[in-house]
Each structure stands twice: as structure tokens, then as C-alpha cells.
Amino acid sequence: MLKHYKALLNTLLWKLTEAETTHKYETRFQSQRASRRSREVKLRYDHVYQRAKMIAKLEEATKKKVDVILKKAFACTVTKGEHKRLSKFDKEYDGWARYRKAKIVVKDTKTGKGVKLR
């Protein structure tokens, strides 16, 4: 049962992050490099708040906390190289802190402004 529950939560988080876009790499948030799109640059879809950490929080969350956690289910399009840099900080950091540590500049395509990586 626990295995199925985790799989369901994993799928839920994927679908929530995909809901904002019609294409995998057309996310609201994009690194400056990824937004320059060229055929030579390989792109990656990164969950800003990591799914495994969110699943762990959801498993222990009260009903009141679930919405707070799910609001963090969004993605950022990054380059393959940036994704590799981000992975170095997966254990210690989450959210925009990973991006700050990896020195990745992110823009919000909805507002056209840079994201403050707090």
C-alpha cells in the first residue's frame, strides 16, 4: 500500500507541475541560458522543490499543511549543465536555494522579471 501511495503522490506532483504549460520546456520559470533556446543546448525539466522531499512532507502533513506544500509544486526549465550543477546541492538545499548555490539566474516568463532566489 505504501508503495502505491508514494507512486500516486509522485504522479500528482508531476501533473501539478505540468499543468501550467502545454509543453515540457515552456515552464513559467526558466534559467537565463535555457530561455535562449538553441538546438545545440539540451534542456531539462527541474522540480524547483524536489519531489522526494515534498512526498516525505506530504506523508506527514496535516490537512492544513497539504495546500502549503502543493503550492511548491512547480518546475523550471534549465540546461543539461545547469541541471547537473543543481544536483550537487540536492541533499543540503531545496527550492530556490539550490539555484542560488548553483549560481543559476532564473526569470519568470509571466512577468518578464528575474526571480529573487531567497
pLDDT of 51 over the 80 cut: yes
Question: Which residues touch 7 (CB under 8 Å, ≥6 apart)?
Answer: none
Distance CA 80, CA 89 (A): 15
Please tell me the distance from the alpha carbon of residue 93 to that of residue 81, in angstroms, as a whole number.
18
Q: What is the mean pLDDT of residues 8-31?
A: 90
What pTM value is reported for the model? 0.89
| Mean pLDDT over each residue of the chain, to the nearest integer | 92
> What per-residue confidence (pLDDT) applies to 115?
92
**40 pLDDT higher than 90:** no
Q: Indicate if the pLDDT at residue 66 is higher than 90.
A: yes
| pLDDT confidence of residue 1 | 61
The DSSP symbol for 37 reads: -
The predicted structure's pLDDT at residue 42: 93
Neighbours of 53 (CB within 10 A): 16
> What pLDDT does residue 24 have?
85
How many angstroms separate the Cα of 13 from the Cα of each of 16, 35, 36, 85?
Answer: 5, 24, 27, 23
CA separation for the pair 41, 54 (Å, rounded): 29
